Amino acid sequence: MGHGHGKGPGQWCHGKFRGCGYRMTTGREAVLDVLSQANEHLSAEDIYMKIHPVYPAIGLTSIYRTLDILVNIGLIHKFDFGHGRARYELTEGPKGKRHHHHLVCTGCGRVIDYTDFIDEEVALLKKTEEGLSKKYNFRIDNHLIQFYGLCDACNRS
Amino acid sequence: MGHGHGKGPGQWCHGKFRGCGYRMTTGREAVLDVLSQANEHLSAEDIYMKIHPVYPAIGLTSIYRTLDILVNIGLIHKFDFGHGRARYELTEGPKGKRHHHHLVCTGCGRVIDYTDFIDEEVALLKKTEEGLSKKYNFRIDNHLIQFYGLCDACNRS
DNA sequence: AAAGATAATGGAAACCATTTTCATTTAGGA
DNA sequence: TCCTAAATGAAAATGGTTTCCATTATCTTT
Ligand SMILES: [Mn+2]
Ligand SMILES: [Mn+2]
Ligand SMILES: [Zn+2]
Ligand SMILES: [Zn+2]
């Protein structure tokens, strides 16, 4: 799994985790570890397969449970790109990447993060959110923006 | 199911359906009928339950198959609001409502269509799409925008 | 450093929306 | 009306996710 040399994000999240009344366990630390190392959008099984060689005792069930908690705590986001399984990614923050949106290729399933063009989008979203909040008395805490189409590789064929 | 007095959207879609090499059947007409009558976002089973009293012979399987075709033809959109089942809605067009985005309540699951604030959004999206297309050589044909939060009713409690 | 209370775990089974299979029926051109 | 490929329903299969429950591990209290 390649800790490299440091402690992984375990230490960092330890507090946040415990602060919410959860215990810190090997499995939970491993999941966080994998997620913070990853640069793709991982499924529960992806995470399981990365953890398993190192900690064979940790089961898929626990990974699902940990992911649920992390989503609720707000440390990760859960996405459905339409491939039949949920995918997870660290939220923006100290250890997370910056807030971004997604390009989803309907040909090969590739998902591209983009962080350009975001500033304007977010500015407009703020305005839109304000309008919607007022009109519908709807408290918005999150948004999802995805573009669907064909990626470079799929365009060529 | 309440045809009222007309023929439903069957006639209208008959051509489009046949034009793509598909045969027109009672079940397919019924699905289109229900979808065009609906003002909510229906699941396959929702549609089945509306059709069943009138056409008990039509099975859920066929409804799934019809919905797949309609999505591919582009007559309907398929959404995942995170409730564990897909939901469907007529695309914009002669018989469909106008293009819109969604507010999804994480409390009660309600989904609100909004058509205000769309013009500006779409304008920005166009611009964003152009930028992304160029940068990633990604051909965008669709987008998904959803806001998550708490609806009026859920805010009060 | 132990013990106790209770949260967390893994493996198997259950769940459940959707898909596949396949024998039968149907639509629609000839 | 006939014919053939497309469409269908019922049942079984699929596969990601959840639930169950007996066992284990964490962390607080001694
Ligand atoms: Mn991403
Ligand atoms: Mn809608
Ligand atoms: Zn692609
Ligand atoms: Zn609500």
User: Domain holding B70: CATH number?
Assistant: 1.10.10.10
Statement: residue B8 has pLDDT above 60: no
Average pLDDT over residues A51-67: 98
Shared domain for A117 and A62, answered yes or no, is: no
Same domain, A6 and A77: yes
Nearest-5° Cα angle at A21, A18 to A22: 65
Instruction: Note whether B75 and B15 are same-domain residues.
Output: yes
pLDDT of residue B11: 67
Strands (E), chain B: 76-79, 87-90, 101-105, 111-114, 139-150
Question: Would the pLDDT of B67 be above 80?
Answer: yes
pLDDT (average), residues A70-98 = 90
Q: Which ligand is nearest to the CA of B155?
A: 4
Q: What is the mean pLDDT of residues B82-107?
A: 90
- Return the CATH number at A150: 3.30.1490.190
The set of strand C positions with any atom below 7 Å of a protein CB reads: 7-12, 16-21, 26-29
Q: Determine the average pLDDT of the residues in A33-46.
A: 95
User: For residue A143, what are the domain limits?
Assistant: 99-157
Give, as one character, the DSSP assignment of residue A125.
Answer: H
CB contact under 8 A, A151 and B128: no
Residue B125 tokens read as 């999206």
pLDDT over threshold 50, residue A5: no
Rg (C-alpha) for chain B, rounded Å, is: 18
**Residue B13 clears pLDDT 80, i.e. is over it:** no
Dist CA A54 CA B103 (whole Å): 42
pLDDT tens for each residue of A126-142? 999 999 999 999 999 99
Residues B156 and B109 in one domain: yes
Q: Are residues A40 and A16 in the same domain?
A: yes
Q: Bridge-partner residues for B78, per DSSP?
A: B88
Q: How far apart are CA B116 and CA B144, in angstroms?
A: 16
> What is the rounded average pLDDT for all residues in chain A?
89
Q: Is the pLDDT of residue A41 over 70?
A: yes
Contact A136 B152 (CB under 8 A): yes
Which residue, of B45, B61, B91, is where some domain finishes? B91
Give me the pLDDT at residue B4, please: 36
Of A39, A65, A91, the last residue of a domain is A91
- Out of A116, A136, A148, name the one closest to residue B103 (CB): A136
- The reply to whether A78 and A107 lie within a common domain is no
- Helix (H) / strand (E) element for A139: namely strand A139-150
Is residue B76 helix, strand or coil? strand
**Tens digits of residue pLDDT in A93-125:** 766 788 899 999 999 999 999 988 778 888 888
Tokens of B63: 């409804």
Mean pLDDT lowest for which of A49-58, B51-60, B128-137? B128-137
Q: What pLDDT score does A6 carry?
A: 38
CA torsion, ordered B43, B48, B54, B58, to nearest 10 deg: 140
pLDDT band for position A50 (cuts 50, 70, 90): very high
Number of domains in chain A: 2
Q: Are residues B54 and B127 in the same domain?
A: no
Lowest average pLDDT, out of A97-106, B6-15, B81-90, B107-116, goes to B6-15
Amino acid at A106: T
Helix (H) or strand (E) holding B28: helix B26-37
Nearest to A114 by CA among B97, B141, B4, B130: B130
Q: What is the pLDDT of residue A63?
A: 98
Average pLDDT of the residues in A76-85: 96
Check CB contact under 8 Å for B152 and A138. yes
Nearest one of B153, B80, B117, B41 to A139, comparing CA atoms: B153
Residue A7 has pLDDT above 60, yes or no: no
DSSP of A44-95: HHHHHHHHTTT-TT--HHHHHHHHHHHHHHTSEEEE--SSSS-EEEEPSBTT
Where residue A29 falls among pLDDT bands split at 50, 70, 90? very high
Residues B33 and B71 in one domain: yes
Buried b (16+ CB within 10 A) or exposed e, A114-132: beebbeebeebbeebbeeb
* Whole-angstrom Cα Rg for chain A: 18
Predicted pLDDT at B89: 96
Chain B residues with beta carbon closer than 8 angstroms to that of A129: 147
pLDDT > 70: what percent of chain B? 91
Looking at the fold, whether B25 and B81 belong to one and the same domain comes out as yes
Alpha-carbon gap, residue B156 to A151, rounded angstroms: 44
Last residue of a domain, which of B35, B60, B91? B91
Q: Do residue B57 and residue B124 come from a single domain?
A: no
Looking at the structure, do residues A80 and A105 belong to the same domain, yes or no? no
The predicted pLDDT at position A15 comes to: 82
Please tell me whether residues A109 and A76 are part of one structural domain. no
Question: Does residue A32 lie within 7 Å of nucleic acid chain C, judged by its CB?
Answer: no
DSSP A23: P
Size (chain B), residues = 157
Q: What percentage of chain B's residues is helix, strand, coil (to nearest 5)?
A: 45, 20, 40
For the ranges A19-23, A54-58, A97-101, B147-151, the lowest mean pLDDT is seen at A97-101
Distance CA A99, CA A142 (A): 11
The pLDDT of residue B118 is: 76
Contact between residue A8 and residue A33 where contact means Cβ atoms under 8 Å apart: yes
